[in-house]
A and B are shown apart, each in its own frame.
Chain A
Amino acid sequence: MSRQAERNVRRQAPAPKVAAEPRRARVPWRARLAAWRDQHLYSFFSSLGRLAARPWANALTVLVLGFALALPLMFYLLFDNARDLAGGLREAREVTVFLQPAIDGKGAVALAAELRARADVADVLIRTPEEGLAEFRQLSGFGEALDALHANPLPTVLVVTPGAQSDLDAPPLLADLKADRRVDLVQYDATWRRKLSDILHFGERIVAVIAALLALATLLVIGNTVRMDIQARTAEISVMQLIGASDGFVRRPFLYAGFWYGLFGGICALAIVIAMELALVAPAQRVIESYGGRFALHGVGVLVALAVIGASALLGWLGAFVATARHLAAGQPQA
């Protein structure tokens, strides 16, 4: 037997001149693409299978992620609605001029004509006290109280639209109007608009900061979950590395797991927010309508929903990447 083997050895000794590198280069790209696809399919399903193997623990993780992601999404919605509500005001450029009560219709028409003649005025609208009263009655719901008044307490109001060029914080028109003795009060909406703009900007920043913090929390939760996954599979990982698995191959199922955590967390967050929306929109709408608002609250749009799911999946992937990077570096000999 040993002689036989020896002869075999001698006969076959020069045969296998196989070097590792050229063998790889000979594989056509089509086959490599197919292999790449197969490896991804494998990781895709094996990672899902692992999640399904521990449904309760993973459902808890997903719920934690869902709430963490729902919070900034809720803030965003609130803020987005507030911005739209303020949107109409934001555009306002009119100067509202309240005339002295002593100025009658004729005087108002004269002042309007004067103003129209100015180069920096685009238009002037006269609102008589009667029109003002009718509008007030309609909007405020104080109709009966107004009936109790003997006289109309409202002054004539001129709504002045400044010309396109006078888009300043305090155009000269404003000073002139204030100086006019026929004018009681000048209300320039641009000042208010800027304040509102500042408030909204501040709100925007708060939402961004909270979103960033909770995104970081998401990253950590997923990173930690994946790290525990890795610890439970240390033996398996070392076997894979020993039989020639690249870092990418070892890492892929964990990246997919992180991706799944993020994806399901994002879907969970959306579900939470949509449930809140369903519970809150109808009463909120009633409140707005009772104040005569014609504003329709809007919920999570398709684009926002997709963005939330996409972002959370990306966060999951990233968290898993960070967690695996540390482990993989520790698992190999120093080169």
Chain B
Amino acid sequence: MIRFDQVAKRYASGQDALADLSFEIGAGEMVFVTGHSGAGKSTLLKLIGLVERPTRGQIVVNHADLARVRRGGIAQARRGIGMVFQDHRLLMDRTVFDNVALPLLIAGTAREEIGKRVRAALDKVGLLAKEKAAPVTLSSGEQQRVGIARAIVAKPPVIIADEPTGNLDPQLSAEIMGLFAEFGQVGTTVLIASHDLMLVRRLGKRVLVLDHGRLIDDFRPESSRTGASRVESSRPESGRPGQDA
């Protein structure tokens, strides 16, 4: 569903955010991207979301070559991607329901259908009761769950999340990650950037480790309890991000 082929990104400032990055993520796969801040995690997600364009290389998302997506097609391409942000970016002057309904409204879903799907999405994140609430009245964990409901409501084949648990305490973080894992199980491709390696390891999903824009490791921890050797071996590189959080 997501394929990077020798992708490089250099910003106008001359900073090399990504260099020679190649990987492939299959449909329904759940993958974490880790690395210290500035390693290129955000740039990676921005390239998928067409917020930035690569300097070199090919990116394929949802079977579409992003280089061929012109200015007018960006909006359409983004509708195939559910985005979750660290600061959830909800529209504060609208109710929870309206926030979650926005992608459906944008996609031109029929009105009767919108109500059903918004409630289904809110139900999935456990916020069905807060439908009419204003986002400011919710806790940060709840706000992030609304953000997730908004990302999944249009049933995009790909979900990307940039530090979705960055502002949450460990227990809430685990809850949120659990939610993402559920989506992975229903065939949605999920890509999450996170520096919370403890959490990432516990979920036992594939992990891409970036350092200075390069992919330095691509592994899957066997299980949280046995503590696989790959995890141990990759610790020196990927252990750092926890410190600069």
Q: A: which residues have CB within 8 A of B?
A: 1-2, 5, 8-9, 12-21, 24, 27, 31-32, 34-36, 38-39, 42, 235-236, 239-247, 249, 332-335
Contact = CB atoms under 8 A, between A and B. Distances in A.
Contacts of A34: 110-111
A231 to B, nearest CB: 16
Nearest to A42: B105
Contacts of B53: 333-335
Given A20-B64, A20-B80, A35 B185 contact: no
B49 A242 contact: yes
Q: Which 6 A-B pairs have the closest CB atoms?
A: A35-B108, A2-B204, A244-B79, A244-B78, A335-B71, A246-B75
A249 B78 CA distance: 14
Contact of A335 (B1, B51, B70, B188): B70
Contacts of A16: 1, 27-28, 157, 187-188
Given A5-B181, A18-B80, A12 B204 contact: no
For the side of the interface on B, what is the size category?
35 or more
Nearest to B153: A243
Given A13-B28, A240-B102, 7 more contacts: A2-B220, A13-B27, A16-B187, A239-B89, A241-B78, A243-B78, A249-B106
A244 B106 contact: yes
Contacts of B80: 18, 20
A1 B204 contact: yes
Contacts of A39: 105, 108
A12 B50 contact: no
A244 B205 contact: no
B51 A242 contact: yes
A15 B28 contact: yes
Given A246-B106, A334-B53, A18 B74 contact: no
Interface in B186-204: 186-188, 203-204
Nearest to B74: A332
A24 B223 contact: no
A32 B108 contact: yes
A138 to B, nearest CB: 72
B9 to A, nearest CB: 11
Contact of A236 (B71, B82, B91): B91
Contacts of B30: 5, 9
Contacts of A38: 105, 108, 110-111
Interface string B119-153: 00000000000000000000000000000001100
Interface of B: 1, 26-30, 49-53, 62-64, 69-72, 74-83, 89, 91, 102-103, 105-111, 150-151, 154, 157, 181, 184-188, 203-205, 220-223
B62 A245 contact: no
B103 A14 contact: no
Contacts of A236: 91
| Majority DSSP secondary structure for residues of B touching A | loop
Contacts of A27: 108
A42 to B, nearest CB: 6
Given A244-B76, A244-B103, A246-B75, A12 B89 contact: no
Contacts of A8: 28, 184-185
Contacts of B111: 34, 38
A247 B70 CA distance: 13
Nearest to A20: B80
A5 B102 contact: no
B197 to A, nearest CB: 16
Given A2-B204, A242-B51, A246-B106, A9 B184 contact: yes
Nearest to A329: B71
Contact of B50 (A13, A19, A333): A333
A35 B63 contact: no
A24 B76 contact: yes
A39 B154 CA distance: 16
A167 B78 CA distance: 72
A63 to B, nearest CB: 26
A143 to B, nearest CB: 76
A19 B62 contact: yes
Contacts of B150: 243
A9 B29 contact: yes
A2 B51 contact: no
A111 to B, nearest CB: 82
B232 to A, nearest CB: 17
A132 B106 CA distance: 80
A213 to B, nearest CB: 36
A42 B101 CA distance: 12
Nearest to A27: B108
A34 B108 CA distance: 8
B75 A241 contact: yes
A19 B63 contact: yes
A172 to B, nearest CB: 71
B108 A36 contact: yes
B102 A243 contact: yes
